[in-house]
Structure 1
């Protein structure tokens, strides 16, 4: 679902998600060279074997040592794989924000948390561990995105490494975020007011959430979808293959078409 030219201009003026507008890095200049180099190595080995056969026709040639078999190294599991306790599981779609909602505020940005639903632990400065439920998925999505927006480059990189699904899109986003945040300190970033969410789909292993923000300077509600996956006992944000948070970008949202967290006193 797209946005109008006018809305796109509003987004640009408001400085939304500077790290989401990323370039696509498909392939690279080294791939063709690698293939041709491989064929050169094979050709060279054939010539060596032929020379040995000519010099010693009555002896079988000694096979040239082939390349070592390829091995796949599995990345080490992030800290959340072992630190999150067992959680209550539910598939119930929440119709309201958490009963015990509280707000974390930083540089004028604020987002909801819940002692019961998450985050329930802080490991190496990163808040994590969310309930295995639609409510937990929604809180994980808003917490991970908002905390990434409002920290310095080093902390943002740490969040990306531990609370995002490790895929090619993440590599692209990490490179773009590092470049952008180097010249844009946290206090200089402008975001909409976090106001609500909508569970668009839910499975125990994956959920898609619409996160809604309000822009008081133009009286507009906008939303963007975020996919989270249940990995190693916690929810993690899953970026698109080209490093985007959202598949569709920002859309205008009906004020009655989502579930409100609650209006934080820090942003009234």
Structure 2
């Protein structure tokens, strides 16, 4: 990956999921994606149906439950515009606790449905992709990671590799007190109806860092598209400027 001026890749060796530098983004990229990630997976009953820990094979985003070319049953979002987000964050965004951090949610752009560990139904817009990029990887540290992976990560070699590597790491359902980063902003690198690339700006005591999430529109919702090596995001890189990012202002 080629880094833009003002960024530097954190020089580290070893498997991507064991690199210490990823602790800067522990608040959202979870224990296997970022070492030290202590994000707690949302548990409990579904606010709509009361179901707990939706089985991957029966989930709302499984291939058998989604009509071809349509949205999953019960999924409604505001898809009126596909314009790339401007220099200000969406007006209806609120911040919801997720483990040791907070993630942005939107009544219009999603996720509009929550079923156990699955936060789903994102708008088919750049803003919907942005929110999915923040939220989906944040669910990967706890014991329900397989459900989220099956439902919200694009199938293929990358997902298989992620699953293999994730299975070697202990689940983390409770915070450990480690310092984590917070979301500071985002930028949409590219967008089309079937795919999107989103850069996330993180802030921690060490400063700012960025990483990139690739997504695909699949099964009527946004899903994370992993690299062939199983990584759900690009290597985290330190950055000295917030230029080019839409700042959340929190």
Q: Greater helix share, 1 or 2? A: 1
Partner of 1:169: 158
Answer whether contact 1:112 1:261 (CA < 8 A) is retained.
Answer: no
How far apart are the structure 2 equivalents of 1:13 and 1:122? 27
1:68-115 Cα offsets, whole Å, 9 max, x none, are xxxxxxx97851332223651432111222211111113321110001
Any gaps of 5 or more consecutive residues in structure 1? 23-74, 264-268
Answer whether contact 1:206 1:230 (CA < 8 A) is retained.
Answer: yes
Answer whether contact 2:196 2:215 (CA < 8 A) is retained.
Answer: yes
In the comparison of the two structures, how many residue pairs are matched?
A: 204
The one of 210, 216, 238 aligned to 1:252: 238
C-alpha RMSD of matched pairs (Å): 2.8
Answer whether contact 2:200 2:210 (CA < 8 A) is retained.
Answer: yes
Q: After TM superposition, give the deviation of residue 260 of structure 1 in Å.
A: 1.4
Report the TM-score when normalising by structure 2.
Answer: 0.71
1:167-216 Cα offsets, whole Å, 9 max, x none, are 1111111222232233x444126531111110000111000000111012
1:226 is aligned to 2:239: no
Report the TM-score when normalising by structure 1.
Answer: 0.67
How far apart are the structure 2 equivalents of 1:90 and 1:255? 26
Partner of 1:202: 191
Q: Which has the larger radius of gyration?
A: 1
Answer whether contact 2:25 2:202 (CA < 8 A) is retained.
Answer: no
Change (3 A) 1:130 1:14: closer
Q: After TM superposition, give the deviation of residue 258 of structure 1 in Å.
A: 0.6
How far apart are the structure 1 equivalents of 2:195 and 2:147? 22
The one of 79, 88, 93 aligned to 2:60: 79
Partner of 2:53: none
Equivalent residue runs for 1:90-239 within 5 Å: 90-95=81-86, 96-149=88-141, 152-153=142-143, 155-182=144-171, 184-188=172-176, 190-216=179-205, 218=206, 220-239=207-226
Q: After TM superposition, give the deviation of residue 124 of structure 1 in Å.
A: 4.5
1:124-143 Cα offsets, whole Å, 9 max, x none, are 44110011111110011101
1:213-243 Cα offsets, whole Å, 9 max, x none, are 1012x2x111111011011111000001110
Answer whether contact 1:89 1:131 (CA < 8 A) is retained.
Answer: no
Any gaps of 5 or more consecutive residues in structure 2? 14-18, 36-55, 67-71
